[in-house]
Amino acid sequence: MDKIKALLDELAAVVAEMEAMSEAPAEGDAPAMDAEEESSLRSLSERADKLRSQIELLRAIEAKSLELRAVLERGAPAKAIEKAAAEEAPVEKRTVPAIP
């Protein structure tokens, strides 16, 4: 779970960087996006895709693990019920009052 959270945090950082780059206003007559910015956005996009696929893989592994654990727990033999040490039948004690 920690790996998934770390990857999600990294993905959020990549997305924020992509949004910041794409929202940057074009300066005067300069083209909307130069080759360097486009290359950077493409690499960020590829990185985001890789992160997404890693997250999906880890989630699938986690789901499969939970599914298999459930199968194992259902297939495990039932726990033996341990009876308390054979309780002896209570012995009836009779008391006879003393006769004066």
pLDDT at site 71:
86
CA dihedral 22, 24, 28, 30 (to 10 degrees): -40
Rounded distance between C-alpha atoms, residue 46 and residue 54, angstroms: 12
Residue 29 has what DSSP assignment? T
Rounded distance between C-alpha atoms, residue 12 and residue 10, angstroms: 5
Query: How confident is the model over 28-65, as pLDDT tens digits?
Result: 555 567 888 889 999 999 999 999 999 999 999 999 99
pLDDT at site 6:
94
**Picking from 33-42, 68-77, 80-89, which range would have the lowest pLDDT averaged per residue?**
80-89
Q: What is the mean pLDDT of residues 61-81?
A: 82
Assessment of whether the complete model's pTM goes beyond 0.85: no
36 closest CA partner among 46, 21, 50, 49: 21
pLDDT at site 42:
93
